[in-house]
Amino acid sequence: MSEASSGGLTRRAFLKTTAAATAVTAAGAGLSTVAAHAASPTRGLPDEQSFVNTCRGNCGGKCVLVGKVREGKLVQTRPYEPPEGFERSRMGCVKGVTYPQRLYAPNRVLYPMIQRGERGSDNWERVSWDEAIAYVSDHINKAQAEYGPNAFGLWHSYGSEGWLNGAYHQSTGVGYHRFLNTFGGTVIIPGGDQAQVYMGLFVMQHGTNSTADYTNAKTLIAWGANVTDTVRCCWPYICDARDKGARMIAVDPRYTITAAGSDTWIPVRSGTDGALMLAMANFIIDNDLVDWDFLAKKSVAPLLIKDDGSYFKLSDMGIPPTEGPISPWTGQPVIINPEVVFDKATGQLASQFTAEDPAVTGEFEYEGTRLRTVFDYVRDMTKQFTVEFAAKECDISEEQVIDLATTYATNGPTTVVMAQGICHHVNSRHNYKNLAYLASLTGNIDKPGACIYLNKNHVNVETTTLTTKEMYPDPSLMKPYATLCSERVPEVLETGKLGEADLPLKVVMIVSANPFASESGRPRFLETLKHLDCLVTVDCFMSDTARYSDVILPVGLSFEQEDFLQISSHEVDFLMQKAVEPAGEVKSDFEIYNLLAPKIGLDGLYDKDAEGYLHALLDNEANKKIGRTYDDFKREGVIADWSEEPVIGTEANALKRVQFYLPDLIARDVAYTVLPAEEKIPWYEHAMEAYQDNPLREKYPLFGNSEHSNYTGHSMYNDIPWIHEIWGDPYVMLNDETAAERGIAEDDLVRVFNDRGEVVLRARLTKGLRKDSIILPHGPQQDAYRVGHPQDLTLCFSDLTGNSSYNDFLCEVEKWKGGE
């Protein structure tokens, strides 16, 4: 099938022409209308209508965009304007205003298509929806009949939003999650940022403060976060704090814009953040900068543990557990069996919930059982991580370690602002425990101006009906599914096993994900595809993943369908309004599940239409009282609680204490059965490949890193003409001395390589980067590069969180010999 008839142009062909000319040729009236109207403001024309919606997925922003529609086409998007006095809550970025170009992009997939040649050959045939669904369901049914239910895998990622159609953020959403809870196969969860998602959010479950609370901090540490570019909603509040005299420190191998706007830049060696965190903790303990009261009353420090590392509980003293309230998730009573502390007020062991003055340190005994506090255990296990060790490991001075520790402990409240810079090494999972330990030692959490992790706001609309039988299918329909971390997919495809268990994965449907551009270890993924009988991609665009698939099911974008969304970075709820008819024959995710479900034995899975589910979601008693039913949203579009009052998070975990010790830690990756003791405490280990003393550095001396820019959202947006005009070709950032040693000048085409792969792209030189490091872009797809792809250099490896290790690789750079 030709590119034009498939609705697809390759990026290379696309970029060879001017943006406007290509747009007219490829998308017909759609994009030409956009270009013309964008050039001349059109306010006030009688046939214009405005709608609210957002960018579809893959950006934590979920900003409300106002889309202007004229003659049935979306001609402009702009940020929703908060009322006067709340300008700091203004949302949006350059990507958002290019949304019309995304909607009418030449590489939108407009029709279901089946690949008739080799995967990757771009030999597509347009088919009807009936044919496409029959093709997919036949493969699923055959595979499940032959190999069992787990032969069908469902793979989702960050690429969609909304309660009806979202596959990721709204984990109790209707379309995807009804399907997921009944199909009984294998669920493949992306690597992405799972060190943070799994450890920070799911396992440790710390409360966070609202975005406005940045203004209360006296010290802000941007740790591996270029806030101005990647979490920009925070920046106005950080500026407020700075205006009030807050000190800002950037810990980053690169002199980012955020570092430039800070008082202090600490250029740590990539992947060594954990060593610095633990050295700070030890300095704080050794110099008695500890907030003992917080440690005793708000952290797990005083909880008593037995020699096997498990918590000593009231039941160990013969006091039987009691039943608490019914859990909305299990329908069963919560079992209450409190952990025990030594209460200094009474000199007795007591429940952690009733003790007045828990002892943080000390050894105790109960009927022959030796007991010690979590604090003592962790302190003793981690004392090897000294200031001297960290200075050498991180390649910074001891004075810098001491200054950071002292400032963190004594110039509070301190907020650590982070994004994904500390998340993308194999050792990253430890960083989240380490930050919780630091925050516990100094009381820098759960109070105004003190927070770890990214600040979030609290949502207002009551949507918990989604967790009840009202929104979930008949329980008899629900089936258990196997979970698989995506980084293990190649191994499973090669061996048919996950650990010792059989897992004959034969058909995979990828939803809202582009793993062949976005997962680390890309070559292994592509190599092992040959073991799959059928790969289905549900996507809006001809992505790298779609290109290697057997079938593409085209899905709609925002403004093409109605949905509901809550924004965690702002206290805003809104109906994602349908503004235009869907392009070509695209369908919403919800419609696609509705088509597929009955063909694979999931009859009756959806008992309402889309609007019916939105009514069921919103029309509960709580929302009726506050005027937030479906009809209210239908009328208003956006309903927000504009407020500058910071909201301070409270501990969300069952212990009601900040957790830095995890005796019951379970690996997200089921292939791990026994976890070493170090996994359960704050810890540091050097990176898997990208560490200072690795002998491989003789061959590949440079530490590889990647960054998200203002101009891409993972693999989204990089095909947009306006973005390309501003951002240009993707480039590798090099220290200018590193470049000079290799005869590389600004804008040269260079080859970045290691034993796994290579990528050819332009060089951009800077003094603001460690000499031993390079930064590659994280996002653009294969055809943005002359040769290869940045993820061809990275490892395919699954730690216990299943995290993608984008920054854990060594490499070398040379001038490309292939010419222009």
The whole-angstrom separation of Cα 23 and Cα 703 is 40
Provide the minimum distance between the beta carbon of 121 and ligand SF4 in the complex, in angstroms, as a whole number.
32
Measured from the CB atom, is 455 or 659 closer to ligand SF4?
455
CA-wise closest residue to 196 among 807, 804, 817: 804
Contact 529, 548 (CB under 8 A): yes
b/e per residue, 31-64, with b = 16+ CB within 10 A?
A: bbbbbebbeeeeeeeeeeeebbbbbbbbbbbbbb
The alpha-helical segments, DSSP class H, found in 128-224 are 129-147, 175-183, 194
- Least distance CB 184 / ligand SF4 (angstroms): 34
Distance CA(115)–CA(552), nearest Å, equals 8
What is the C-alpha separation between 546 and 551, in angstroms, rounded?
8
Shortest approach of ligand SF4 to residue 308 CB, angstroms? 46
Three-state SS for 466?
Answer: helix
Please state the closest distance from residue 796 (CB atom) to ligand SF4, in A: 28
Residues that bind ligand SF4 (CB under 6 A): 54-55, 59, 61-63, 91-93, 95-96, 713
How many Å apart are CA 548 and CA 10, to the nearest integer?
14
Kindly give the pairing relationship between strand 731-735 and strand 758-766. parallel
Residue 66 tokens, joined: 């106002």
| Separation between Cα atoms, residue 805 and residue 522, nearest integer Å | 12
Residue spans of alpha helices (H) in 669-743: 721-727, 736-741
Q: Which lies closer to ligand SF4 via its Cβ, residue 114 or residue 517?
A: 517
**Least CB distance from residue 91 to ligand SF4, whole Å?**
6
Least distance in angstroms from the C-beta of 211 to ligand SF4 = 13
End-to-end alpha carbon distance in the chain? 30
Q: What is the DSSP letter of 299?
A: B
Q: Which residue is nearest to ligand SF4 (CB)?
A: 96
Closer residue to ligand SF4 (CB): 65 or 136? 65
Least Å distance, CB 595 to ligand SF4, is 29
- E-only strand ranges, 191-282: 219-223, 247-251, 264-266
Q: Which is nearer to ligand SF4, 159 or 713 (CB)?
A: 713
Query: Contact 471/616 with Cβ under 8 angstroms?
Result: yes
In the complex, least distance from residue 212 CB atom to ligand SF4, rounded to whole angstroms: 18
Q: What's at 465, amino acid-wise?
A: T
H or E segment to which residue 497 belongs: strand 497-498
Instruction: Quote the CA–CA distance of 521 and 519 in Å, as a whole number.
Output: 6
Nearer residue to ligand SF4 within complex by CB, 59 or 355: 59
Q: Give every CB contact of residue 347 below 8 A, 6+ residues apart in sequence.
A: none
Q: Given the complex with ligand SF4, which of 234 and 529 has the nearer CB atom?
A: 234
Q: What's the one-letter identity of residue 28?
A: G
Min dist. Cβ of residue 104 to ligand SF4 (A): 17
Q: Which is nearer to ligand SF4, 90 or 306 (CB)?
A: 90
What residues contact 37, with CB distance under 8 A and at least 6 apart?
70, 75, 76
Cβ of residue 82: shortest distance to ligand SF4, in angstroms? Answer: 14
Choose between 53 and 442: whose C-beta lies nearer to ligand SF4: 53
Q: How far is the CB of 647 from ligand SF4 (least distance, A)?
A: 21
Helices 398-410, 429-442: inter-axial angle, 10-degree rounding: 50
In angstroms, what CA-CA distances link 724 with 14, 335, 519, 689, 776? Answer: 11, 56, 23, 33, 17
State which residue, 55 or 445, has the beta carbon closest to ligand SF4: 55
Continuous segment of H or E residues that includes residue 115: strand 113-115
Q: Tokens in use for 530?
A: 């040959």
Closest separation in Å from C-beta 107 to ligand SF4: 18
Among residues 55 and 266, whose Cβ is nearest to ligand SF4? 55
Mapped onto helix, strand or coil, the DSSP state of residue 522 is: helix
Q: Give the nearest distance from C-beta 161 to ligand SF4 in angstroms.
A: 9
Least separation in angstroms between residue 110's CB and ligand SF4 is: 23
Instruction: Choose between 169 and 531: whose C-beta lies nearer to ligand SF4.
Output: 169
Q: Report the chain's C-alpha Rg in angstroms.
A: 27
Tokens of 343: 């209460």
Smallest gap from Cβ 579 to ligand SF4, in A, equals 16
- Which one, 232 or 815, has the nearer CB to ligand SF4? 232
Q: Tell which residue, 729, 780, 689, 479, has the closest CA to residue 600.
A: 479
Taking the least distance from each CB to ligand SF4, the nearer of 57 and 302 is: 57
| Helix axes 398-410 and 387-394, enclosed angle (nearest 10) | 120
Which is closer to ligand SF4, CB of 87 or CB of 611? 87
What Cα–Cα distance (Å) separates residue 213 from each residue in 234, 419, 540, 561? Answer: 10, 17, 37, 35
Q: Are 418 and 456 in contact (CB under 8 A)?
A: no
Closest approach, Cβ 638 to ligand SF4, in A, equals 14
- Pick the closer one to ligand SF4 by CB: 54 or 282: 54
Give 62 or 297: the residue with its C-beta nearer to ligand SF4. 62
Distances (CA, A) of 718 to 94, 168, 493, 689: 12, 22, 30, 29
Pick between residue 62 and residue 547 the one whose CB is nearest to ligand SF4. 62
Closest approach, Cβ 147 to ligand SF4, in A, equals: 40
